[in-house]
């Protein structure tokens, strides 16, 4: 069998397959299906410095080759996450590599949640910054679609922690390479992409939007070609590792991301249809590498033939 160990700089993983934030809860929900420590990493649902109820229901709608969601970053807040037994205490006991996704509505909120996680970081392998949030102090402009805001939030969060930092880029920009380079220059250790694309669905009988928030984030196989292209473009712009995601269902999907330049991948929406999807992807990557006589995933990263 090939060596699946994955080196993302300061972050070392047993294999390159992790879960995408928001699609795997906090890990405990899936223990009846498999040992979550088998994953390269568990990326938990986004955590803020305060409890947050998210958006009104309905918050999810199935679409052709994907789904729309407007959960609204519902989470228990950092204090409960760190101390309630079903969250971080459970994850510490599970043996899983844990990455905590963080978000805020202002730079101060990002810094606050980061500092509190840094103070009790035992069992946390890395932080992932969700920069697709609107900045309430800048008229609702998303951090991830403004180069100056992106640079500021990363550089300020960097000051609050010694943990490896992953920045999850928004796809809602015209030049992803430019934003990837700005994230690298601002101090992030790793880039992950892509987050969801904005979308909308309408029930033609009621003539109402299918989700209460009207618009939501599109994920699933429908966005994979966009995600692969953005990973490819970003990989040409930066030297730091890239985690690719967006529509990965099978090992073949994951291989596309590796060839495009990703060093690791995340499985997300596929988990809703098949909780075993991440494990099947791990096994499938192994089979592909053996079939092609590759010793490790490194042998295929960025090896697209143009």
| N-term to C-term CA, the chain | 29
Give catalytic residues, as residue numbers: 133
CA-wise closest residue to 236 among 295, 189, 191: 191
Q: Domain segments of the chain: what residues?
A: 6-56+71-201+218-299
SS3 label, residue 261: coil
DSSP class of residue 175 equals: -
Q: Give the C-alpha separation, 254 to 245, whole Å.
A: 8
| pLDDT reported for residue 140 | 74
Element (H, E) at 67: strand 66-69
Q: Give the C-alpha separation, 264 to 255, whole Å.
A: 10
Helices in the chain by DSSP H: which ranges? 78-83, 88-94, 107-119, 147-158, 176-185, 224-235, 251-260, 270-273, 277-291
Show the low-confidence residues of the chain (pLDDT under 70).
none
Predicted TM-score (pTM) of this structure: 0.97
Q: CA separation (Å) from 154 to 90, 157, 161, 258? A: 29, 5, 11, 25
Q: Which CATH class is domain 6-56+71-201+218-299?
A: alpha beta
CA-wise closest residue to 195 among 258, 145, 161, 125: 145
* Residue given tokens 């890395």 in the structure block: 126
The pLDDT tens digits of the residues spanning 11-50 come to: 999 999 999 999 999 999 999 999 999 999 999 999 999 9
Q: Which two tokens stand for residue 111?
A: 């810094």
| Backbone CA torsion sign across 215, 219, 224, 226 | positive
| pLDDT reported for residue 83 | 98
Helices in 159-200 by DSSP H: which ranges? 176-185
| pLDDT reported for residue 197 | 94
> Between vectors from CA 192 to CA 188 and to CA 195, what angle results, nearest 5°?
125
Q: Which two tokens stand for residue 75?
A: 């989470």
CA-wise closest residue to 15 among 225, 243, 271: 243
The pLDDT tens digits of the residues spanning 1-11 come to: 899 999 999 99
* Residue given tokens 């033939």 in the structure block: 305
Environment class of 293 (CB within 10 Å of its CB; exposed 0-12, middle 13-18, buried 19+): exposed
């Amino acid at each position: 069998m090939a060596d699946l160990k994955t080196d993302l700089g300061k972050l070392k993983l047993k294999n390159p397959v992790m879960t995408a934030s928001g699609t795997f809860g906090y890990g405990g929900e899936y223990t009846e299906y498999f040992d979550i420590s088998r994953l390269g990493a568990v990326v938990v649902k986004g955590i803020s410095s305060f409890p947050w109820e998210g958006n009104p229901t309905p918050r999810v709608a199935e679409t052709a080759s994907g789904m729309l969601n407007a959960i609204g970053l519902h989470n228990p807040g950092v204090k409960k996450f760190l101390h309630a037994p079903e969250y971080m205490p459970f994850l510490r006991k599970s043996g899983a590599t844990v990455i905590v996704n963080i978000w805020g509505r202002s730079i101060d909120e990002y810094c606050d949640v980061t500092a509190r996680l840094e103070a009790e970081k035992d069992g946390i392998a890395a932080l992932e910054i969700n920069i697709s949030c609107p900045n309430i102090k800048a008229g609702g402009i998303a951090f991830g679609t403004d180069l100056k805001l992106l640079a500021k939030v990363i550089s300020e969060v960097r000051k609050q922690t010694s943990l490896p930092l992953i920045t999850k880029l928004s796809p809602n920009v015209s030049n992803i390479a430019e934003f990837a380079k700005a994230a690298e220059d601002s101090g992030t250790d790793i880039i992950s992409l892509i987050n969801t694309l904005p979308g909308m669905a309408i029930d033609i009988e009621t003539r109402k939007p299918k989700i209460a928030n009207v618009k939501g984030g599109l994920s699933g196989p429908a966005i994979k070609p966009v995600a692969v292209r953005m990973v490819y473009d970003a990989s040409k712009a930066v030297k730091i590792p890239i985690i690719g995601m967006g529509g990965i269902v099978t090992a073949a999907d994951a291989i596309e991301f590796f060839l495009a330049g990703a060093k690791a991948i995340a499985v997300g929406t596929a988990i809703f249809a098949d909780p075993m999807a991440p494990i099947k992807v791990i096994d499938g990557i192994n089979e592909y590498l053996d079939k092609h006589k590759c010793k490790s995933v490194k042998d295929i990263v960025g090896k697209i033939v143009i």
